[in-house]
Structure 1
Amino acid sequence: MNFRWFWFITLFSLCHPQVHAQVVTTQLPPAQAAAEALPNDPALTSSLPEAHVVPQTPRGTPVTMRWDHLTVRSLPDGNEYLLDGHVVLYYGQYILHADHATYNDATGEIEAHGHLMVDGGPDDEHIVASHGSVNIYQNTADFFDVTGSLGVRRVKHNQVVFTSLNPYLITGKEVRQLGKGHYLVLQGTMTACRLPRPDWRFYARRIELNHGKAQAANASFHLFGIPLLYVPYVKHEIGANRTSGILLPVAGNNSTYGAVVGESVYLTLGRSADLVAGTLYYSNRGPAPFATFRYRGRGDNYAQVRFHSLLDYHTEAGNNLGGIDFFADGRYDFTPYTRAVIDAEYLSSYLYRLTFEQNYAAAINSEVQSQLYLEHERAGFSQAIHFNRYENFESVSPEGNEVRILHLPQVDLDAEDHQLPGLPVEYSFHVSSGALSRYDYNPFGTAFRTGAEIPRVDIWPALNLPMHFDGWNFRPEFAVRDTWYDKSQRPATLTQFPRLVGAPINRLDVEAGFTLRPPVVGRDFDQRWVQHLFGGELRHTLSPMLQYRYVSGIDNFNRILRFDDTEVASNTNELEYGLTQHLYRRTQKPRPCTGAALLHPQKNCGTHTVDWLTWRVAQKYYFDSTFGNAVTPGTPNPLLATLDFTGVDFLEAPRHYSPVISRFKWTAQSGDSAEWDIDYDTKAGRLLSSNVYTNFEHGNYHLRLGDAYLNTVTGAPPGTGLRALVQASKPTAYNQLNITGIYGSQSRLGFNTGASTGYDLERNGLQYGAVQATYNWNCCGFSFELRRFSLANHLRNDTEELFSFTLAGFGSTGIPHSARVF
């Protein structure tokens, strides 16, 4: 990059009409709500001794005065007051302090000298000057040798209340007040940092302050007292005021796609909406436009629309990485019981997401789900209409595996448990009716498409009789489920592609079962050695559970088209048994809250009981090992009877015993937590899954660790033959380790750092890694981040460097929020 190009980028990126207000470092203390008890009596806001009060003639603005010495001169049309020693004048919304002052009640003119200070106004102005004049009737003034602030309210004993999210301070050789809340600063400065030695400030010959807005032309930007940039025009606002303009730029470098530069604009769309639109440019690929629209209405109403894309100028087949990812989510409440919700996404290419998505979790997600529904819910009854779209990319190639399922639309009627009048029996039901379609394609050239939408009606009423006796809880249940489809498929196993048949099909089953919960047994441990070792008293409880379920009548499982979990219902005759243990801890000694516990409403963290340890162990026994001949050997069989117990597809052959599941969770009073979930297959003698989640925080140190292990049969694509079926029947292991460690925070003074990694322990490869370092001065900061992706057999293998520079309360540029470690 040559020298002229460098200076062009520097001046273009930093000289903008508007920068986005964003408090990310510790400049002035954060805004607080003004105290409810701020006194209206001006005498209560002054520490001066009581003095005489002279009542004023009601002419113009009423004035109240205090002084040590007073001389009154009579004028033809009024009086002139000569005030000396601790002079205080109250007029309108303002308070004026000075050593000496002259006040003419005919003209409203005040001449003040010595330690002149004026507070008040619509933006809580605070002006300190050597001398000046004020006309209280015309709301004009002229001050000299000024230091001041906006968005700061002075209270007695030199305390302050910050009434703005972004208060700013000014200095000037002369400051003229042109009206209420309207000032003109001549030969002055503007900053959001503490005076007298701010980290940064803007110098200008003329700065205009008008009701919370500050703007200047031909300004120079100084950092740590060093002039760095010439700024043709700059604007800044206090409080929640927003204005349209150009945001600070993004800059960085990607090892594969070249230099990265970006720019965007911010547009206000009324009081409740705004829009950010811009583009990144990858020197080796092309422009990447993006935009975000936000709306916030009354109550829970909101809307947000986002998209990002790449217009790749490599248009040849196999080398084009372009695409678009579009999101829309929102909610609108028509009444307290009726709402419309949208949560939609459109992704044109999974290859684009995998290679250009900034967030690691989003980059490896191959699913795209959308839903739009209107729901009315009241008194345990719900009526809703849904429009759903599900898409799963199983390959990065456009000709790879892809599944699309649509519900266009579906109407649902649901009722929670309600008691029948005059009887101890409770009823509930689920009724749905919808039009569905499905499209499958695999790289072997086989495709399945239902064509037009297929009607489906599902009716599922149920009865139950809850009974309680001496701590025992027994709940028998009975239900009938009838599901009708307009079309069906030829009988086929899960390893065969379905073939559509025009004949309708009906599925009717009868369901029965019960849930038995014996009394909870427990024991308290309050010995002194227990309190000393565990920091409090302990209570251990055991909660056994027994559940039986029987479903019969589904003899056409292989003829049902697959759309969602409704189609995986099957015959079953099963018994679930489990035991849940709780270890509660109660401490008697109070202590202050620390870490994440500060977010909780309790003011004292040491005198309450916490569910310290929870451990659940359970298993199912299937009396019918084939589930009514619904099991296809050699491939996963997701059935309703297994999905409601564990998310692991363990059923690759007929079997009687399910894996044993273990769910262990530890929660500390400080907010630290750890969870370990295990699924162990006693029949195969292997661990199916192990998931560990931990979160620890101590002072400025924060550690998150997660490990996801899966060892199960993957299955073969339909129609791939016996060899592929045998090969797919072998267990495949996955083991992903994610660690994030942080010292400090984005807004903490001094040095802060953090690192995040995603590592594949099975293949011994780093999939994702990021390191961020931030140094914050009093009101500015600098961040640098190094990120690396290695995904999909090195399809994405790049390193990216990004930086961010922040002016507290003014703006930030560089690292996108979704890409930051902290």
Structure 2
Amino acid sequence: MRPPMTAGPISRNSRFLNLSVEFCCSPGAASALPLNAPRKATAIRVVRRALNKYFISIPHAQGPASYPCRLASRITFIWKGQPTLCRDRRAAPLRRFTHPQFRQLHSAPPHATSSVHLPSNLCDPMLGYAPASLDRMLRVTRHFCARTLSAPRLRFFSAVLFAALGCQYGGSAQAQQVRAPAGKEAVAALEAKTQSRKGDITTADGEVDIHYADTRLRADHVEYNDKTQEAVATGHVQLDYRGEHLEAAEAHYNVSTGHGLFREVRGTFKVERQPNAEILLTENPLYFEARSVERFAGDLYLVHRAWITICDPSHPKWQFYAPDARIHVDRTVALINANFRLFRVPLIWLPYATAPAGRKVRESGFLIPDIGQSSRKGFILGDAFYLAPVPWLDATFGGQYMSRRGFQERGSFRAKPFENTSVEYTYFGVDDRGFLNPDGTRSPQGGEQQRLELQSLLPRGWRFVTDYNQLSSLTFRLAFADTFGEAVNSEVRSAVFFSNNFRGFSLNFAGLNDKSFLTLPVAATSTTPAIPATSVTLRNLPEARFGSVEQSPWRSVPLYFSFDSFVGAVHRSDMQIDTPLSVSREEFTPRVTVPVHFGPWFGVTASAAFRSTRYGDSLDSAGLVSGTAITSNTGEFTVELRPPAFERFFERAPNKDKPRRKYKHVIEPAVAYRYVTGLNHFADFIRFDSDATLTDTNEVEYGFTQRLYRKDGDNQPQELISWRFVQKHYFDPTFGGAIVNGQRNVFQALDSISPFAFAFGPRNWSPIVSDFKITPGGHYDLEQILQYDPQIQRLVTIGTLLKVKPYREFFATVAHFRLNDNPALSDLPARPPPQLPLFQQPLSNQIRALAGYGNETRKGFNFTGGVGYDFTNKTLQNQIVQVSYNGACCGLAVEYRRINLGQVRTENQFRVAFIVANIGTFGNLRHRDKIF
């Protein structure tokens, strides 16, 4: 800074101009400083050049900021119009003052003066910034060393000065502003109506506003220390940091470290949650009130005497109260000695509780206890522990005590250690005492089930998949399954395979296990012995398969080759057959295919295959395992005819609201002939899987498919309706002697057209199958399957599935299935075929219906009701009613469920759940399952 100027000698003809100018820094956002600095620096340079032109030198401060954002000025002009006496040149120089007494002691004229003042508060040095000040006595004289200040130049100078200070920095006298140093990367800016400074402490009053990086602190009164960067604020204190907002009566806060203490606090935290179809979510922030709050760096808050909710704070439906709580923003909320209150009424006491408060949050700890009552299980009390040690792994271990049955254990494990690898394991078991029988004995129904799922994509195209399922007994599943659909599933399938597909080839190493439960065990009585449960187990382990798709070695010749082969060990166990654990089996099947097209309208595809199979074991004439190997060599020939399709187009002209719409109706006929020979000893083969159901056949399949397409404007065509008619004619009604009269026969030639057994003796004709679908993809979908058996001359299968969604959130689903392929004497046609055998097959006639409005997480009223009825046995198998209401922050759900599984289980269930948004449910209705 240049040294202060002093007044020179005064002569009679001298005129004096006293100009006092002060520049002070104003608070502003630190981030805005670099953007405005060049423009404001230019303005300052203009003012300085104008002043220097008239012998006025304005030094400026060198502080952490290059240029002030705004200038608060104090300018005083003292114009002396009369000549004055000359002062001795040796007189002591005038000292520089910034206090008002300067004008009293050194500017008071000996006679009348004319003064013009622009009043302002003094801008004392504060916050480490040295203000730029100038109090000068400037001489304007005709001395040969001085310039003459003419009236026009004085007016020009005054205009420039006022324009720069008044227009460019207008309004600077409205509020005191100061910018404080706060390190290299951030600048603290303070703005208030009045300010004062004493040492390192700045005292500000009236709408105090402090900005520091992303932090904003407001209050009525603030004492700020520029060295420690601590602020003591009182009166309407408000702190804003990103999505965090605090309001307090007083605060002691460090704007640099983020640590602070607050009293009488109200706050909100914005919580972002990942969408979840099973949890009610809300956009409301997390709201809390507390006696005192201590904030730490890293968005951690220690809250004392806290009330926490996400409801409307003026009328909260639910709240958590805790003497001590820890809130980690965007992570978790931990409560100590907390209680949950509904409409301010305490309901649940929790010694320690945690809740998610972020988008992806998992926290280890005990879950909400499960308490309930059941007529079959008695009093129920249970809990579970959730473990999440690392982000890619979690586990749940829990149990329940059932006063009438025993103990129940549950467990689950999930992990994703790598991007393309996932593991999931679940376990459920019951140690059941059983109900007390009249004779004093008990019949326990306990057991266990478990499932392991593993998927992994390995390098070089390899893929490993495991789906392992284990069930101890069907009785256990019927007695303790949570839903009706799970209880009636009597099949347990497991698979493990390691595969790779490359250049049209496929290599697989697999292990398969399929267990089907057939009957339940029957307890012994005084007159009858006990009958054990029956099941069928089929196992292929280990097994290796290698094959290829159809490939042509020549581009110009339509000749394609492919093959399938496998080698492995198989096993079967049922009531009549129990093979060794490993029965060897090998097969090799080469195939050649020739497609021929006669113009664009007709195509023929012929294929021939040779199949060679060897089994290490077989059945003897009595149907028992003999231990003798058996080999079959079969030849297969297939011809598919594709006649030309018939098409017709329809068009609807466009109008104002609808675009042009086109329709296309297509009729596609198809004929296929298949011939298989070489299986002369079908009865000797053990049925390990579908590969062992191949028989001799000489058949033709014919039918047609009708399709209706719709196209709107330039969109892709959409299939609206499809209707398929198909039937088979068997030239060999006994399938090479494989048919057995009076029993269900399941062959590849039969189940390829219908999944239901229909051959109980020799057959020349299969049922006529009609598959009708309407799939507009909008308000409704319909599918109906009909099977007409020409041998007994009636419909044997009727299956209907209807889905409708006519209005907004309303939906309904109806499924009806009827199977009647068991003719009684009264049902036989007047002239039955001579080869019609009498047979018995279980009948089935069931209906399922489900209707509702809304869904589990929809705001407002939601309803779902369903029923399952068996017309054959006249039994209401399943019934469910769910009613819920979801508000902005919570909801209530009530469910009634009835399960009727005969003598094993008949149960009525009532469940209630209070739903807390973003957290979960309180009650015994954890997952509101539907019928199907």
Q: How does 1:349-388 map to 2 (within 5 A)?
A: 349-388=473-512
Aligned with residue 840 of structure 2, among 730, 751, 756 = 730
Distance change (3 Å), C-alpha of 1:58 and 1:132? closer
Instruction: Specify whether residues 730 and 229 from structure 1 end up closer, same or farther in structure 2 by C-alpha distance, changes over 3 A only.
Output: closer
Distance 1:342 1:802 in 2: 35
Partner of 1:640: 748
- Contact map agreement 1:199 1:777 (CA 8 A) in 2: no
**Match for residue 455 of structure 2?**
331
Deviation at 1:663, TM superposition (A): 1.3
Q: How does 1:282-431 map to 2 (within 5 A)?
A: 282-314=402-434, 319-335=443-459, 337-397=461-521, 399-422=532-555, 423-431=557-565
Q: Which has the higher strand share?
A: 1
SS of residue paired to 1:625: coil
TM alignment of 1:92-103, pairs within 5 A: 93-97=214-218, 103=224
Does residue 490 (structure 1) correspond to residue 633 (structure 2)? The answer is no
Of 581, 594, 605, 1:475 maps to 605
Structure 2: distance between partners of 1:309 and 1:686: 47
Deviations 1:26-53 (A, max 9, x none): xxxxxxxxxxxxxx97899xxxxx9859
Distance 2:670 2:683 in 1: 33
Q: Is the 8 A contact 2:182 2:188 kept in 1?
A: no
Distance in 2 (CA, whole Å) between partners of 1:329 and 1:662 is 38
Query: Do the aligned residues in 2 keep the contact of 1:332 with 1:339 (CA within 8 Å)?
Result: yes
TM-score normalised by the chain length of structure 1: 0.81
Indicate whether 1:802 and 2:911 are aligned.
Answer: yes
Listed as ranges, the gaps of 5+ residues in structure 2 are: 1-29, 35-39, 41-68, 71-176, 273-279, 522-530, 825-835
Residue among 564, 569, 574 paired with 1:440: 574
How far has the Cα of 1:300 moved from its partner? 4.4
Preserved CA contact (<8 Å) 1:369 1:389: yes
Instruction: Identify the match of residue 561 of structure 1 among 659, 669, 686.
Output: 686
CA 784–410 in structure 1, closer or farther in 2 if over 3 Å, else same = same
Q: Take 1:81 and 1:163, find their aligned partners in 2: how far apart are those partners?
A: 45
| CA distance in 1: counterparts of 2:444 and 2:652, whole angstroms | 70
Task: Output the amino acid matched with 1:274.
Answer: D
Q: Which residue of 2 aligns with 1:685?
A: 793
SS of residue in 2 equivalent to 1:651: coil
Change (3 A) 1:80 1:375: same
The 5 A counterparts of 1:515-664 are: 515-527=640-652, 537-587=662-712, 609-664=717-772
Q: State the match for 2:212 in structure 1.
A: 90
Shift of residue 67, structure 1, vs aligned partner: 4.4
1:205 maps to 323
Contact 1:253 1:800 (C-alpha < 8 Å) held by counterparts: no
Deviations 1:1-24 (A, max 9, x none): xxxxxxxxxxxxxxxxxxxxxxxx
Alignment check: 8 A CA contact 1:772 1:821 kept: no
Query: Aligned Cα RMSD in Å?
Result: 3.4
On the 8 A contact 2:540/2:569 being kept in 1, the answer is: yes
* Structure number with bigger Rg: 2
Partner of 2:890: 780
Residues 1:256 and 2:376 aligned together = yes
Q: 1:305 to 1:349 in 2, by over 3 A?
A: same
- One-letter identity of the residue aligned with 2:292: E
Look up the SS of the partner of 1:558 in the other structure: helix
**Mapped contact 2:282–2:889 kept (Cα < 8 A):** no
Deviations 1:627-649 (A, max 9, x none): 11111111121111122222111
Matches within 5 A, 1:159-174: 168-174=286-292
Q: CA 1:539–1:533 in 2, change beyond 3 Å: closer, same or farther?
A: farther
Shift, 1:683, TM fit: 2.1
Work out the percentage of aligned pairs sharing the same amino acid: 28
Aligned-pair CA distance for 1:139: 2.2
Equivalence for 1:37: none
Shift of 1:208: 2.2
Q: Following the alignment from structure 1 to structure 2, what is the Cα–Cα distance between the partners of residues 714 and 371?
A: 39
TM-superposed deviation, 1:331:
0.9
Q: Please say if residues 391 and 405 of structure 1, whose CA atoms lie closer than 8 Å, have aligned partners that are also in contact.
A: yes
Equivalent position amino acid for 1:689 in 2 = T
In 1, Cα distance between the equivalents of 2:184 and 2:654?
78
For the 8 Å contact 2:618–2:626, the answer to whether it is kept is yes
Cα distance 1:713–1:177, how it changes in 2: closer, same or farther (>3 A)? same
Q: Which amino acid aligns with 2:731?
A: F
Instruction: Answer yes or no: is 1:815 the counterpart of 2:915.
Output: no
Tell me how far 1:195 sits from its aligned partner: 2.7
**Maintained 8 Å contact 1:61/1:136:** no
2:147 corresponding residue in structure 1? none
Residue pair 1:636, 1:714 contacting (<8 A) in 2 also: no
Q: What is the match of residue 804 of structure 2?
A: 696
Which residue pairs with 2:638 in the alignment? 513
* Partners of 2:549 and 2:560 in 1: CA distance: 9
Structure 2 residue aligned with 1:268? 388
Following the alignment from structure 1 to structure 2, what is the Cα–Cα distance between the partners of residues 107 and 532?
69
C-alpha spacing 1:739/1:820, structure 2 compared with 1 (3 Å): closer
| CA distance in 1: counterparts of 2:414 and 2:502, whole angstroms | 30
Cα contact 1:67–1:83 (8 A) shared by 2? no
State the Cα distance separating 1:689 from its structure 2 match. Answer: 1.7
Structure 1 spans left out of the alignment, 5+ residues: 1-39, 45-49, 154-161, 442-446, 493-497, 589-605, 716-725
Q: For residue 264 of structure 1, report the CA deviation from its aligned partner.
A: 1.8
Residue 675, structure 1, aligned to residue 803, structure 2:
no
**Which amino acid is the alignment partner of residue 346 of structure 1?**
Q
Amino acid at match of 2:892: F
Q: How many Å apart are 1:310 and its aligned residue?
A: 1.7
| 1:33 match | none
Match of 2:764, SS state, is coil
User: Is 1:756 aligned with 2:866?
Assistant: yes
